[in-house]
Amino acid sequence: MRSRVRANIYLVVLLLSVFGKLVAQDKDIRVHDPVMIEENGTYYLFCTGNGISVFSSYDMVEWKREESVFDEPPAWTDSVVPGFKGHIWAPDISYYNGKYYLYYSVSAFGKNTSAIGLVTNKTLNAYDPSYKWEDQGVVVESIPGRDLWNAIDPNLVEDEKGSPWLVFGSFWEGMKMFQLSSDRTAPKEPQQWITVAKRARTDFIDDSKPGDAAIEAPFIFKKDGSYYLFVSWDYCCRGKESTYKVVVGKSNNVTGPYMDKEGKRMDQGGGTLVVQGDDRWAGVGHNSAYTFNDKDYLVFHGYDLNSNGAPKLMIREISWTIDGWPQVELEVAEQ
């Protein structure tokens, strides 16, 4: 009798668990700055949010909200941004040597009072006994009055030798890059800094402000021996008034120079349009790019005019021209 009762209880718990997962899933999730990775048949999505928001999916269509990475802000954040409340921006996820590396941004909006941090984990499965996020502290910090760059929007990329590089930046004097140390926690010494993309800035009245050179969110994708540098131009975070768009350049070297389709360098304002808004979507941008099951995908967010400009997750397959340039159709059949 007791075994039958236990079995019935187990069945009820299982059904409740399955039901809970079903009701928690959503095709139409709201995100900013999404990045994605696959582990053992499950896709994990990380994005801007309190403590870094996390979602999981088996098919990149139905998404289930998971627990945030941080329950409370890392201890060091208050020294960088006094009074920081834990709303962490623009993460980047990668896997190396048995661990997942999640870089993230801590910043004061509209200022380069910012830092990029790093947290690691052996698994992304919260039910695995070894699941534990361990913060590694600050990787790089920008300080107003000292730096004409902004330490946010990180992306890790490996060169042809497997050496890690971090590309990042928002507004100011553009997208910066440096090689990481072998443990991927700090710049490699001696430091070598490179500007890989920027736009012309006309507002130099106050260098403590971002200015009008609207560029951010760099992401480098490797394909067929080339490196593709995606960046977002213009303005996010304005709902229906957002003007975000994604442009790209490519290079044979991870450090560039990155050239657009017309042969203009991205560090001199170049960029070939990949995707922009339309009658359904306002700005679209802050992308990442991946290959899953032999297909290439652009993962980004768009401001949905059918939902009063709410930021929605967008995943679109990338097609390639004969001469090796990425193309993305914004309006496709809903996934």
Instruction: Kindly list the catalytic residues.
Output: 33, 216
Q: What backbone torsions phi and psi does residue 283 show, to the nearest 5 degrees? A: -65, 145
Question: Cis (ω within 30 of 0) for the bond into 326?
Answer: no
Rounded Cα distance, 129 and 184, in Å = 25
Torsion on CA atoms 169, 226, 326, 261, rounded to nearest 10: 80
The residues near 83 (Cβ < 8 Å, ≥ 6 apart) are none
For CA atoms 308, 310, 313, 314, give the dihedral sign.
positive
Q: Hey, what are 25's tokens?
A: 């899933």
Residue 203: is it exposed, middle or buried by C-beta count within 10 angstroms (0-12/13-18/19+)? Answer: exposed
Map tokens 């050179």 to a residue. 213
Type of residue found at 310: A
Report the alpha-carbon distance of residue 255 to residue 105 in Å, rounded: 22
At which residue do the structure tokens 């050239």 appear?
259
Distance separating the N- and C-terminal Cα atoms of the chain = 47
Residue 221's closest CA among 231, 212, 230?
230
Q: Which of 151, 147, 117 shows the shortest CA–CA distance to 134?
A: 117
Say how far apart CA 103 and CA 180 lie, in whole Å.
Answer: 12
What's the order of all strands across the beta sheet hosting 114-121? 49-50, 87-96, 99-107, 114-121, 134-142
